[in-house]
Amino acid sequence: MTLKPDEDYVIDFNALLGHETVRSVAYAVCYIRSGTDQHGLQIWWAVTINLKSIGTNGSFYVCPADRGPFNFVMITKVWASWAPVNGIKTNDLLCPNSYWYWIAFFSQGSDFAQTPHQRSVSEVKYPSQKIMMECDAADPKDNSQIDVVNGGTLPQAHGRDRFTTLFVDGHASITWYPITMNGTPTRHRTGVWHIDPSGPFGWGMGSLDWIDVP
Ligand SMILES: [Zn+2]
User: Domain ranges in the chain?
Assistant: 58-214
Could you tell me the distance, in angstroms and rounded to a whole number, from the CA of residue 155 to the centre of ligand 1? 10
Could you tell me the distance, in angstroms and rounded to a whole number, from the CA of residue 164 to the centre of ligand 1? 6
Could you tell me the distance, in angstroms and rounded to a whole number, from the CA of residue 32 to the centre of ligand 1? 50
pLDDT score recorded for residue 114? 66
pLDDT score recorded for residue 176? 80
Could you tell me the distance, in angstroms and rounded to a whole number, from the CA of residue 189 to the centre of ligand 1? 24
pLDDT score recorded for residue 171? 95
DSSP label at residue 70: H
Sign of dihedral through CA atoms 180, 111, 93, 101?
negative
Number of CB atoms found within 10 A of residue 193's CB: 16
pLDDT score recorded for residue 205? 57
pLDDT score recorded for residue 194? 53
pTM listed for this prediction: 0.67
Q: What is the mean pLDDT of each run of 10 residues along the chain (214 residues)?
A: 74 82 75 84 67 61 93 89 84 89 77 74 90 92 82 84 90 81 58 53 63 79
